[in-house]
Amino acid sequence: MEIDTLLMTPGPVHLDAEVMLAGARALTHHRTNDFAPVYTECVTLLKKFFGTTQKLYLTTSSGTGAMETAIANLFHEGETVLTVQTGVFGVRFTKICEAFRLKTVVLACEDGKGVTVEQIAAALEENPEIAGVTVTFNETSTGIRNNIEAIGNFLQDKGKIFITDGVSGIGALPFKMDEWHVDVALSASQKGFLAPPGVGMIALSEKAWNKVETVKCHGYYFDLKIYKKDQEGAIPAYPWTPAINVMFSLLEALRKIDRIGIENCFKHYEKLAGGLRAALKAMNLRLFTEENATSNVLTVFYAPEGVAPKDIVTEMRNRYGILIAGGQEQFAATLLRITTIGAIGERDVLGTVALLEMTLKKFGYLKQVGAGVSATMEYFLNFK
Ligand SMILES: Cc1ncc(COP(=O)(O)O)c(C=O)c1O
């Protein structure tokens, strides 16, 4: 029998039918009073979840578009940006800066480890010309959760623009943009916000906005000065044709998160992640990410010696209809990634663990099945 694939990938994540159906509503026109409240309510709820009272704009793009929006609007040609790399998405910021012919100082962190304030301080000391710092909140390629609060506290009086990539992190993990002194925080619809892909988001502090006013944007489509002007019109509008139906879905998802309470979502993900990690430990699978940088969004672990991650992914998808993720780029041959966010529950984590065990038995790594499922069940039963 054909069954829907369960997405246990760290974005896009598994979604509710109600969220998908909300997007199937009849189309409305984006320059009317039918659409403006949809956009406005999305922004209001997102500000709450970003922990900000400052400006927040939506972009018609995935997360990379929001990353590009940040760099294109915040730096003058020739300025230098410190790009912290704790995985593929940190590297992406370096590439975007280079595409706009900005100078970069790269801080590449050790595998499995988050960046420390001391490392950032040393880079700034050595390169006082640095105008901005980019750090990935939750590095989806490596499972590293960087300590944005500590970095923000350190950077607050250094006169730099602090940019955080919150794609996959914001909405799924506690995040307090204003309290943590983040100047620019960005994200996208398809991960922590439990909606389909297609909408990016970017929030800016007053300090960041003052800088935007002085910068000639590198490009036109993502020029935030145009977004601001259109939002301040008689009918608050989005400058171009937005992903209207994705925004319908996004609004449904945001309302749902609000109804449940975002803190309860965090707790739910904590439980699911803990249950998954208990199983991996019981199966003697080695985690990639060091403990103090571990995130509840996803768990990254080494495939057993001699078994290719891609074979595990393929078997689980083709035979059982569960899609987990392999490692990205240099980690493709060694790592596996399983998410614990989305419209999923204990049932889905237990199913994933059981089918992973069956797969690992088939490939000869496990002699017996059941230890993982048992550990997950115990963890769930004891979770408070
Ligand atoms: C942390 C992080 N940053 C940026 C991106 C890029 O987002 P997108 O694929 O939506 O362009 C992703 C997507 O996986 C991500 O997880």
Is the CATH number 1.10.287.130 carried by domain 6-11+261-382?
no
- Residue 340 gets the label, from left (phi > 0), alpha (psi -120 to 50) or beta, of alpha
Among 136, 142, 167, which is best to mutate for testing ligand 1, by the most ligand atoms less than 8 A from CB? 167
pLDDT at res. 234: 86
* Tens of pLDDT, residues 74-108: 999 999 999 999 999 999 999 999 999 999 999 99
User: What single-letter DSSP state applies at residue 130?
Assistant: E
* Any ligand 1 atom below 6 A from CB of 188: yes
Nearest residue (by CA) to ligand 1, atom 2, is: 167
Report which ligand 1 atom has the smallest distance to the Cα of 197: 10
Q: What is the 3-state secondary structure (H, E, C) of 228-277?
A: HHHHCCCCCCCCCCCCHHHHHHHHHHHHHHHHHCHHHHHHHHHHHHHHHH
Burial of 368 (0-12, 13-18, 19+ CB in 10 A): exposed
Model pLDDT, residue 107:
98
| Cut 0.85: pTM above it | yes
Report whether residue 85 contacts ligand 1, using a CB cutoff of 6 Å: no
Any residues with CB less than 8 A from the CB of 5 and at least 6 apart, and which? 317, 321, 322, 323
For the CA of 67, the closest atom of ligand 1 is: 4
Q: What is the pLDDT along the chain (384 residues), one digit of tens a residue?
A: 778 899 999 999 999 999 999 999 999 999 999 999 999 999 999 999 999 999 999 999 999 999 999 999 999 999 999 999 999 999 999 999 999 999 999 999 999 999 999 999 999 999 999 999 999 999 999 999 999 999 999 999 999 999 999 999 999 999 999 999 999 999 999 999 999 999 999 999 999 999 999 999 999 999 999 999 999 988 888 899 999 999 999 999 999 999 999 999 999 999 999 999 999 999 999 999 999 999 999 999 999 999 999 999 999 999 999 999 999 999 999 999 999 999 999 999 999 999 999 999 999 999 999 999 999 999 999 999
Residue from 59, 140, 170, 337 to probe ligand 1 pocket by mutation (most atoms less than 8 Å from CB): 140
Extents of the domains making up the chain? 6-11+261-382, 17-258
Query: Which pLDDT score, from 0 to 100, does residue 235 have?
Result: 87
Beta strands 144-145; 138-139: pairing state: antiparallel
A 10 A CB-CB count for 66 gives 26
E strand spans, the chain? 6-7, 55-60, 80-85, 103-108, 130-136, 138-139, 144-145, 161-165, 184-188, 199-204, 298-302, 322-323, 325-326, 335-339
Residue nearest to atom 5 of ligand 1 (CA): 63
The answer to whether the CB of 167 is under 6 A from ligand 1 is yes
Q: How far is the CA of 62 from the centre of ligand 1 (A)?
A: 7
pLDDT at 3 (0 to 100) = 81
Q: State whether the beta carbon of 9 lies less than 6 angstroms from ligand 1.
A: no
| CATH code of domain 17-258 | 3.40.640.10
